Structure 1
Amino acid sequence: MAVESSEIQRGEYLPRVADGLLTQALQSSGAVQIKGPKWCGKTATAERQSASQVFMQDPDRSATLLALADTKPSLILRGEEPRLIDEWQMAPQLWDAVRFAIDRGRGRGRFILTGSATPQQEPAHSGVGRIARLTMRTMSLFESQESTGVVSLGELFDGNHDVSGFSDFDIENTAFALCRGGWPEAVVESRVNVALRMAADYVEELLDSDINRMDGIKRNKTWMRLIMRSYARNISSQASQSTIAADMQGEPPSEGTLSDYLDALSRACVTEDLPAWNPRLRSKTAVRTSPTRHFSDPSIACAVLHATPEKLLNDFETFGLLFESMCIRDLRVYADALGGDVFHYRDKTGLESDAVIGLHDGRWALIEVKLGEKQVDIAAAHLKKLADRIDQDHEGRPSFLMVLTATAAAYRRDDGVLVVPLATLAP
């Protein structure tokens, strides 16, 4: 497969969308919590804007720090500010200590809390008004410097729809990027085989220790692997919990146990389902409210399915579902930069939109994902039909309709629908 190795130097920091979001959050809040999957780059991003750091997983100091957190957590907070507390969830009481310190002190941008898991036990206080929350994901194609960025999502929302441009990021590159994922270490790795191995290493470390270390609950590794495999087989679908259970080999766990395992994957930021959009419609039509299943990075699905770039090129059905998941990841990153969220839409008639971007100021857009050019006409027709079904007197007109593809050219169709390759998109 003709995939070029990365020209990025190992150890080089590639700018992230989260850089600007963190700067803004520090200017408005006493502390910022950065949440996201392990290895997505949270610590590197936070370190660049911190003045001092404490690492709760430091093997030389972890036992001492945990003991200190139990006896006098305020000592861990001492240091030049902004002070980074990495993997704070290992001592959840630090959350309340940070909140109390902010209440007692003055100024903003005092602490940065990073973590790859959500504690099962909620802190005594929510932190509302004191601790801003920032979700960080794996690298989008724009952040990994694989998207040309000639089509700006922000400009589309502002009304600039005269899109044009080309990308030489072909279908083979797309298959490789899916299997490699957006893990920063993999992105800068020049050896293709090593880069492709990192997602599998992530899964194995997760199964071996991370998912248990998160809350101290010992979970069945075989069950967890089967659940993740079922999740991967149902990626980009609205598969129910019972569907996931039925798809597992052998005797599945009980409903309660399965719920616990799925919750653990979500709290560890391994999965990130896409919620449903519920707009006001012109006519009474039942809207499906089940979330669409996604991993935080599509390479996790590739790893548990043992999918390689070569296998994906011979299985376009699976390729298409995984490509949709990669599009959702990138759209989420870009929507964060614009102050928005990503949803999906599907009603009882089967009319759907793979992604709906809703900005906090009320603007919205519909997006369908198609791997190739042949399906663009059908996708465009569905988008226009769905837009007509929305009560635009209440919701407003859509800012744009887009078919997001893995093709080469970005252009505007005669019917106004935009055709945009993922590898040309930027915030």
Structure 2
Amino acid sequence: MGASMKYIARYLDDELNQWMNVIGAVLIVGPKWSGKTTTAERYSKSVLKLQDIDKQEQYQMWLDIRPSKLLEGEKPRLIDEWQMAPILWDGVRNAVDELQGEGLYILTGSTVVDESKIMHSGTGRIHRLLMRPMSLYESGESNGKISIEELFDNPKMEIDGIESDLTMDDLIFAACRGGWPDSINKKNDKDKLLIAYNYLDNISESDISKIDGVKRDSDRVKLILKAIARNNSTLAKDTTIMADISANFGDISKPTYYSYVDSLKRLFVIEDLSGWAPNIRSKSSMRSGNKKVFIDPSIAVAALNMSPKAFNTIDGLKTFGFIFENLCIRDLSVYTSKFGGSISYYHDNSDTEVDCVVHLNDGRYALIECKLGKTKIEEGAQNLLKVNKLIEANDEIRNPSFLAVLTGGEIAYTRKDGVKVIPIGCLK
């Protein structure tokens, strides 16, 4: 992002600030283009950009003879895309030990690094933060009149009549465009929508082969992402996704599939949502396999090669229901990150399911369904009440703080049964 662009405040700002006062170094990871460097630069007083092509020869020389030279500079010092020189990890760790201060270094990286290349884990000296693409509140589309933090603290809070400013068209556009800071700053809509496609090309054509030096086929990357997108937010097993790939595009072996999927996770393109298996006395057993979701819904849209217009048909809206769930997962992850939030799903063999179980680090949790249209709210609420009943029958599990259905609708209210109905365009 150029210097003239206005900085968009991020939830991660508060987290970064907090940790810079507590620990020697902070590592910000996340997908490329999510704004890690822009945010980190606001907190740093000197910067080392390892991908600067004009200086690579000079950097390589220091890496060969005295890597610690690259860590010199006014603190906090930013080391951007540090994974290009893994040796610096141990250097930062040692420097933190020697200098005995807080907030000395900020590292950024857009891949999960091969731990075997690093001598020590950095525990206690380097704190890791995940920056996701922007939530609807960060991009200025959700008015944030309902705070998830307040809902946890005061589940009986009055929400009736609070309105979202987002129409269904706005919501579809926001999901197709994604939370890329660069797309928000573009002037026209066509350009805004191109960023996710550009991202997909970039990942498929270069990043996925750079991650471990194994050459991977860009068409195959796109096919795998397309198959995952077609099964987005569903409980499709890997065998189902592989069958989808084979049926449409030719055979793929298990090791190849897993190697590609693993690389996509390491690049923060997709992530796993694990199944929540509480000790409920249910007649049917839990499913605890992982669900694959995209770190941003726009990647799924680009993988499917769809546009906002394509979602305006009946079939299109049905597909958009899954994209909407992915958008809700992204936003809930951003809004609860400060409280150590994590998200899982619930599904048992009698097909009772809950899209999101949002856990905070103090043990509190909420059950949340994501239903795009009005007609599905009842179904979502019934799922929540059914699972809640199973939990209430068990003394060993604490009850959820609240039950909510997130919708693409316009008005928030609490149902007679206590389930909250909240437009995603009101949440923060």
Deviation at 1:223, TM superposition (A): 1.4
Structure-2 separation of matches of 1:10 and 1:161: 41
Structure-1 separation of matches of 2:238 and 2:378: 34
Alignment partner of 1:245: what SS?
Answer: helix
Question: More displaced, 131-140 or 120-129?
Answer: 120-129
Alignment partner of 1:272: what SS?
Answer: strand
**Change in 2 beyond 3 A, CA 1:171/1:10:** farther
Question: More displaced, 201-210 or 388-397?
Answer: 388-397
Structure-2 separation of matches of 1:138 and 1:234: 21
Matched with 1:4 is none
Letter matched to residue 407 of structure 2: T
Deviation at 1:284, TM superposition (A): 5.3
Deviation at 1:306, TM superposition (A): 1.0
For the pair 1:26 / 2:20, whether they are aligned, the reply is yes
Structure-1 separation of matches of 2:291 and 2:182: 28
CA contact (8 A) 1:313 1:319 kept: no
Alignment partner of 1:37: what SS?
Answer: coil
CA contact (8 A) 1:335 1:342 kept: no
2:130 to 132, 135, 150: 135
CA contact (8 A) 1:32 1:133 kept: yes
**Change in 2 beyond 3 A, CA 1:227/1:63:** farther
Q: Percent of aligned positions with the same letter in both sequences?
A: 44
Matched with 1:5 is none
Question: More displaced, 66-75 or 298-307?
Answer: 66-75
CA contact (8 A) 2:223 2:249 kept: no
Matched with 1:146 is 141
Structure 2, unaligned runs of 5 or more: none
Deviation at 1:68, TM superposition (A): 2.2
Structure-2 separation of matches of 1:67 and 1:239: 49
Structure-1 separation of matches of 2:223 and 2:65: 41
CA contact (8 A) 1:84 1:112 kept: yes
Q: Which has the higher helix share?
A: 2
For the pair 1:162 / 2:124, whether they are aligned, the reply is no
**Change in 2 beyond 3 A, CA 1:143/1:131:** same
Deviation at 1:10, TM superposition (A): 6.8
CA contact (8 A) 1:22 1:32 kept: yes
CA contact (8 A) 1:56 1:66 kept: no
1:64 to 58, 67, 72: 58
Q: 1:331-364 CA distances to partner (integer Å, 9 max, x unpaired)?
A: 0001102332111111111111100111111111
Matched with 2:285 is 286
Deviation at 1:253, TM superposition (A): 2.6
CA contact (8 A) 1:27 1:109 kept: yes
Q: Please give the residue correspondences for 1:314-393 in structure 2 after superposition, counting only pairs within 5 Å.
A: 314=313, 315-390=316-391, 393=395
1:87 to 59, 81, 85: 81
Matched with 1:14 is 8
Structure-2 separation of matches of 1:106 and 1:146: 42
Number of residue pairs the alignment of both structures matches? 418
Structure 1, unaligned runs of 5 or more: 1-8
Q: 1:8-36 CA distances to partner (integer Å, 9 max, x unpaired)?
A: x9711111000001111111111111110
Structure-2 separation of matches of 1:213 and 1:37: 15
Deviation at 1:283, TM superposition (A): 3.4
Matched with 1:415 is 417
TM-score by length of 2: 0.95
Q: Please give the residue correspondences for 1:28-427 in structure 2 after superposition, counting only pairs within 5 Å.
A: 28-122=22-116, 123-159=118-154, 160-164=156-160, 165-248=162-245, 249-283=248-282, 285-314=284-313, 315-390=316-391, 393-426=395-428
Alignment RMSD (CA, Å)? 1.5
Alignment partner of 2:21: what SS?
Answer: helix
**Change in 2 beyond 3 A, CA 1:259/1:63:** farther
After superposing on structure 2, the runs of 4+ consecutive aligned residues of structure 1 that deviate more than 4 Å are: none
Letter matched to residue 300 of structure 1: I
TM-score by length of 1: 0.95
Q: 1:139-194 CA distances to partner (integer Å, 9 max, x unpaired)?
A: 00000010010000000000143113101201000110111000001012120000
CA contact (8 A) 1:10 1:189 kept: no
Letter matched to residue 185 of structure 1: D
